[in-house]
């Protein structure tokens, strides 16, 4: 009976020997790592901020000198004390560069602001720029989180059927990463320039940065966490609109989720439509009280 016959209800596949060109069959060459993104992040008529380009260039030092970022080197340390393998260093650098290339300098979050709020990018979107397999990119993301180079939070949204839907994870770059490569002071300067550009956008849309900040503080007071967050407090501002949720979209999402959970516990028999309506009403009432006080 040949290799394609059926045995015990399963069809056997002919054995195809694999050729390992380097790494764990991931086409990795320790002497010639692939540290550049596959495609440009911006359009041909635009370029990334200079500080982001400089950080991407300096990150290459980590591949040949892992002690440049010791927290990342030991992010997946083996039981025998061995540091990160070369193919894993390559994956971490590629994904980190993709995140940095899409980083908003005002908030240091991965994504871009819009009229509907800050839009976070998914891991699948970022992986398309790296050439990594999705599972390999997931492992690299876990290493970057463990090394405290980025923070990741997972917002959720209550659906009409009472289930929860996970939204795109919010990824933010730790500002200490810039400092580790001698770009700490320049970051402060660039953040100010980015804030000035944001102020011009606000002027076109309407409103002021003061109103944006006040609106963000309103939602910040509503969601006031009981315990201190382990990661840095990262916020962005958006113009107050009656038809949009107040303040930063990430903070609003967390606050609204906590409020919905409290309402569900207090009124277990109510539908998700009524619970969402109650949550919106409570936020609007608190916002009006804060601004009229």
Q: 239: exposed, middle or buried (C-beta count within 10 Å: 0-12, 13-18, 19+)?
A: middle
Residues in Cβ contact with 58 at an 8 Å cutoff, skipping those fewer than 6 apart: 181, 182, 183
| Per-residue DSSP letter, 67 | G
Task: Tell me the two tokens of residue 243.
Answer: 């038809």
pLDDT recorded at residue 194:
80
pLDDT recorded at residue 225:
39
pLDDT recorded at residue 113:
73
pLDDT recorded at residue 244:
41
pLDDT recorded at residue 229:
40
Domain boundaries, the chain: 48-292
pLDDT recorded at residue 129:
95
Alpha carbons within 13 A on the beta-carbon side of 157: 9
Residues in Cβ contact with 266 at an 8 Å cutoff, skipping those fewer than 6 apart: none
Cβ(92)–Cβ(72) under 8 Å? yes
pLDDT recorded at residue 180:
92
CA–CA distances in Å: residue 92 to residues 27, 226, 252, 258, 287: 15, 34, 31, 33, 42
Dihedral sign from CA coordinates of 36, 39, 43, 45: positive
Question: Which parts of the chain have pLDDT scores under 50?
Answer: 1-7, 214-248, 291, 293
Provide the whole-model pTM. 0.62
pLDDT recorded at residue 186:
93
pLDDT recorded at residue 222:
37
């Amino acid at each position: 009976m040949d290799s394609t016959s059926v045995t015990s209800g399963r069809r056997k596949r002919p054995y195809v020997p694999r050729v390992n060109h380097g790494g764990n069959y991931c086409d990795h060459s320790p002497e010639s790592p692939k540290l550049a993104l596959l495609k440009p992040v911006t359009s041909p008529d635009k370029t990334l901020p200079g500080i982001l380009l400089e950080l991407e260039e300096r990150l290459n030092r980590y591949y040949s000198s892992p002690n440049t970022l010791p927290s990342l080197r030991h992010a997946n340390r083996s039981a025998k004390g061995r540091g990160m393998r070369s193919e894993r260093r390559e994956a971490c650098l590629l994904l980190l560069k993709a995140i940095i290339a899409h980083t908003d300098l005002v908030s240091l979050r991965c994504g871009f602001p819009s009229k509907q709020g800050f839009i976070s990018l998914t891991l699948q979107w970022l992986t398309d720029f790296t050439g990594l397999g999705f599972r390999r990119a997931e492992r690299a993301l876990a290493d970057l989180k463990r090394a405290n180079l980025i923070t990741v939070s997972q917002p959720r949204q209550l659906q009409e059927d009472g289930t929860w839907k996970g939204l795109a994870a919010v990824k933010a770059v730790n500002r200490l990463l810039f400092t580790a490569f001698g770009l700490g002071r320049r970051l402060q300067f660039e953040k100010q320039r980015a804030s000035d550009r944001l102020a011009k956008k606000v002027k076109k849309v309407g409103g002021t940065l003061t109103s944006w900040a006040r609106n963000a503080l309103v939602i910040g007071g509503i969601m006031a966490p009981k315990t201190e967050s382990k990661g840095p407090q990262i916020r962005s501002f958006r113009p107050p609109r009656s038809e949009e949720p107040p303040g930063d979209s990430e903070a609003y999402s967390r606050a609204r989720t906590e409020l919905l959970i409290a309402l569900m516990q207090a009124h277990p028999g109510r539908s998700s439509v009524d619970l969402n309506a109650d949550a919106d009403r409570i936020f609007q009432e608190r916002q009006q009280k804060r601004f009229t006080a």
